[in-house]
Amino acid sequence: MDYEPQKPFQTDIRKERRKKKRIQNIKKFALVFLVLILALVIFLTRGIWSSFVYDILEKTQETIVNDGELAKGNFPIDLGEGSTSSTFVECDENLVVATDTYITFYKDNAEQINSIQHTQSNPMLSASKDMVLAYDLNGYSFSVMTKKGETFKKTLDNVIISAKISESNYIAVVTETDKYPSYLTIYDSKGNECYKWANGQRILSIDFMSSGNGAIISTFRAEDGLPVTTLNGISFNSSEQLFTSDKIKSLVYGVQKMSDNSIWAVCQDRYLRLDSDGKIDKEYLYKSNLISFSSNEDNLSIALESLTVDGTSNLILIESDSEPVEIVVDEKIKIIKTYFSNTFVLSDKTISAYNARGKLISMANVTNDYVDFIYLNGDVFFKGYRDINKIEFKY
């Protein structure tokens, strides 16, 4: 007798498998859909719960107190007895120091990498991630270098008022000319002229945009005996101006375009927010004198003198999408700098770090001899009048 396969039974098995697979796929789709919905709800309600979560985390976070012990070995770096115009910057995770006669590159352990002699009377430094611009303030020459040596040098016909290098290695040089009180020339990383700009007004500041191929130029003139500043957005690839801002009835010291495309301007007697077209959105008058300010794409920090004579200072912290936070610092602030989302504060007694919400997250006691500092690779480098020291700084 011949055997006949049970075809109907086999067909039922296939149907059951397909049915089971469909159910599994539906469950996976439902799970993914629920995760997406949950993520959307969390994002849309972040303003309600985020501050609550931050408050809990901050209450449990203790301030780190560093011992402030000075590094040994190659430290301190001697600036020389006669060095009256020393300055320093960070470039390519190295320390770059300018004195009256040399510009020297150091590793973070103060081991010397290279030393380049210069002839500038008043050397000033500006750094990108891998190049350093050295220019003679109120002189005629500037040079661009790396730790391997000088890339190029130029001597101009007109006096240099200011200069700055961008992260994409564009060099902005402002000079005085017979025709203009301020004349801007942009050079590329090889020293070729690629853009020129002037509007007959004096240039107060140049702040590069994060795109690397443009800048915001602050220019001022007098109206009825009072200063009026205008912000001018330019692209190095176009002759058309990007925007011209509303009139700002103050001197502008610095401008920052934030990650949300808002523009913040730090002025002599106020700070204000503008939209991407240069229209004034918000304006805040200082309650006391400006000491220092610093910024990046996400944060702006401003230090003001105390309203009283009690030895305190005021610190204003601004995130791109939040209202300003103001705190009182129980010391006299000398200078502030922003690193990542934190603000580092050098006072007459300590070096401190605050987060964007004004929480003191780290500090160390220091002497009153320091006038400037750089945070690099978990250390703080301090510049005094005669030497540079280093301490470990965790936060």
CA–CA gap between residue 181 and residue 209 (Å, rounded): 24
Q: Residue 254 pLDDT > 70, yes or no?
A: yes
Share of the chain above pLDDT 90, in %: 74
Residue that is written with structure tokens 């770090």 in the block? 353
* Secondary structure (DSSP) of 149-199: EEEEEEE-SS-EEEEEE-TT--EEEEE--SS-S-EEEEE-TTS-EEEEE--
Q: Residue 290 pLDDT > 80, yes or no?
A: yes
Decide which of 339 and 45 is more confident. 339
1 confidence band (pLDDT: 50, 70, 90): very low
Between 36-50, 74-88, 111-125, the lowest mean confidence (pLDDT) is in: 36-50
Q: Residue 373 pLDDT > 90, yes or no?
A: yes
Kindly calculate the radius of gyration of the chain based on its CA atoms and give it in whole angstroms. 28
Tally helices (H) and strands (E) across the chain: 2, 33
Q: Residue 19 pLDDT > 90, yes or no?
A: no
CA–CA gap between residue 89 and residue 303 (Å, rounded): 21
Average pLDDT, rounded, for the chain = 89
Q: What are phi and psi of 9, to 5 degrees?
A: -65, -45
* Closest C-alpha among 121, 118, 122 to residue 144: 118
CA–CA gap between residue 305 and residue 67 (Å, rounded): 28
Decide which of 165 and 38 is more confident. 165
Whole-model pTM over 0.75 = yes
322 confidence band (pLDDT: 50, 70, 90): confident
Identity of the amino acid at 72: K
Q: Are the C-beta atoms of residues 284 and 270 closer than 8 Å to each other?
A: yes
Decide which of 344 and 309 is more confident. 344
Q: For the chain, which domains are there?
A: 53-81+288-395 (2.130.10.10)
Q: Are the C-beta atoms of residues 175 and 185 closer than 8 Å to each other?
A: yes
